[in-house]
Chain A
Amino acid sequence: MDLNIVWFVLIAVLYTGFFVLEGFDFGVGILLPFLGKTDTERRSIINTIGPHWDGNEVWLVTAGGATFAAFPHWYATLFSGFYLPLFLLLMALILRGVSFEFRSKDDNPTWRATWDWAIFTGSLVASILLGVAFANLLRGVPIDASMRYTGGFFNLLNPYALIAGVATVLVFILHGALFLSKKTTGVLVERAQQTARRTWLPALIALITLLIGTLIDTDLLQHRGVWGSLVVILPLAAILLTGYFIRRQRDGWAFVMTCLTVAFTVTAFFVALFPRVMVSSSDPAWSLTIYNAASGPYTLNIMVIVALIFTPFVLVYQGWSYWVFRKRVGNNPKTLTY
């Protein structure tokens, strides 16, 4: 396996980690105003992801940095090309990030309502935009021979990308609801379970629509052939099993299955993309690939060494932090961390 492939896989792993982890905390953020009826309930909901959301987001920051280091042309074309969606994504992430820290530091109800709104909006907007952006990478966008994005903002708002945005939101809501069902207590558990039951079917439909859209609107079938295209079965199987476990009231297993749904969707995406990183709709030959967009072998080599040494540590201590906070978050305002 050459270094370029190694780096493609590593970046795919980083995005998979990001979507699986931040996926449920985006879902929790979107559900916050609906599941939390009282201030204490909302605080409990936030505290389920309080210690983790920032670490989850670092997966995205690292993916961005790794893209810059390993595939600078991908980084340059993507970030300057998808300018406005990325700008909106940054705004959403900024608002959402500070809100977790700020919302409880003042008693004023308007203050709290404002930051709660920011958590909801930030989580929702970020989820949609990420779905839209990734779908466009695969579907193809206008890119010229010198790797420059020649489209505009509205090129990105095609039906396929919008379906991806909606599917991302619905799957994250399901994912977040199942996370909450395992991490809260009392009435919140019931509400989370109910939400999971109600969201499952819409999420399933959206995901099926997305997968069918992928077969129609991208070059997956020609590019990977019929057998290769079967990769789309994986997320489908996982979300069907999610439904099975929800019905059996096995929330933990259902959550494992939404983790797999997200992970398999991202995997299918990268399988369909490989060896390209951004498909050009102007001319397939102008697509950015892991070869024409890459750094030199020396840089790739060094970064592989760095990644192989440090990634295991990250997995261990981040895993440990989930273990430290493995207990359900209570609903006694006296023992909640504010």
Chain B
Amino acid sequence: MGVRDGVRARNESAWLLPDDGARTNHRLRRDMRRFADSDEIDLVIVGCGAGGSVLAQRLARAGWKVAALDAGPFWDPDTDWVSDEAGSHHLYWTDPRVVAGTDPVPMGSNNSGRGVGGSMVHYAGYTPRFHPSDFMTATLDGVGADWPVSYPELRPYYQALEEELPVAGERWPWGDPHGYPHRPHPVGGNGEVFLRGATRLGITAKVGPVAIANGRFGNRPHCIYRGFCLQGCKVNAKASPLITHVPDALAHGAEVRANAMVTRIAVDERTGRAAGVHYIARGRERFQRARMVAVAGYSIETPRLLLNSASARFPDGLCNDFDQVGRYLMVQGAPQTAGRFDAEVRMYKAPPPEVSTEQFYETDPARDAKRGFSIQTVSPLPITWAEHIAAQGHWGAALREYMSDYVHWSCLGALCEFLPLAENRVTLADEKDHYSLPVARFSYSQCGNDRALARAAQSVMEDLLCAAGAEEVITIQRYAHLVGGARMAAAEQDGVVDRDGRSFAVPNLYIADGSVLPTQGSANPALTIMAVAARTADRLAARASGGTT
């Protein structure tokens, strides 16, 4: 049996999509199983993104009665998404949030998705694995934390998901060396510049790894290289859970309940067990009963929901006995350096994710910092590019003149492993949202190691672009991604959940999203979030069959 047949046997999503040019299987959604609030279902999941969708799909296949509630819409790429930057504003979580600290982190389009599919609807599509060292940075480098899970325990989940998305790329020489199920894509102008600079400097760079099928996959068509990956893939070529896991979940009896904002997790004061979730749908307050609850709202909304679920037993927030909820929230330092060429690069013509190097990923004794960074093509579209130009201080006529030069620029981005710090955290602000719930306040400050890594990454990107022939380079300081905020740990004093994603405080409450990650490496987190959720699903299914839940 070939890889594709093997994938189809365990996840039929790509074959459940229509093959007639439409992107959504409307019949599958119309015929979806619908549970009553009064049904005590096996599992209610809060959030239907990278973590929640995988958990739903796996446990629906295991025969569980599962409903995944999502605050946002159940997207139809044909009618809801557009090939346009400003018109994609509704893909982002834009409910109010307050950012603070010495180095505050912008939210919204940068890192926060909305609706079924979550942030993977608008992520670029890079799906690298973490390196084995990411799971033991405290032991190896004396910084960060050791995971209670090792890389070898996650490896089979990485492999399975790389086939399900599927991932295209060259054979990967870094971390735990591995291949990918799909061949690398051809590169556009920006990838060409990166590869040329790397060759001249003797830096190893590789095409991939991107979760964009190279060739048809099931009923998903080939990529058309239109460059709007960050605006939601109207082609169904780029993977997101909306097309990689939700269809199979529905076909196996899961319910995806869109436009349902969970406001509070209910815990029975007598038994100490979660009893279900309060949520608001169409303006009405409702309550879904469930035997188990899994939170998958990502690094801001998951801690916020726990903090908003305070009770007599948990006066400082659910699962917050040791003041761990919301802490160790991480973002990657993501400086972007652009180079100017007389030739036309036209970086918008290809998926922004094309080429990466992980040569600088590990701690280098020659650098004045622990851990490292990766470098990738990024290819911003005009509005994001204007942000780069404005960051150089230009406005008015000068802004317009620089912008008219757009086709000549190539742009690289770094992902620097900024360290998990206890004081970088989510708390509740005084401000309330339109559900009358306190909004999240995210305070973030860098440490010296972080700044040193960002400087080192910028310097390598400048060298790469100059080696490729750039006459000028400019850099903007940015952040990318979110992980942590409810981390897993070996002991309850050090985290919120155990190695299986089960909360220390409430035995039938799980967390299955990026917030459980104790470190972030220099890798885009989507694949690892999915892999950890898939492992949690396996552990849940095993406990159920062993009768230990």
Q: State whether these chains interact.
A: no
Residues of B within 8 A of A (CB): none
Residues of A within 8 A of B (CB): none
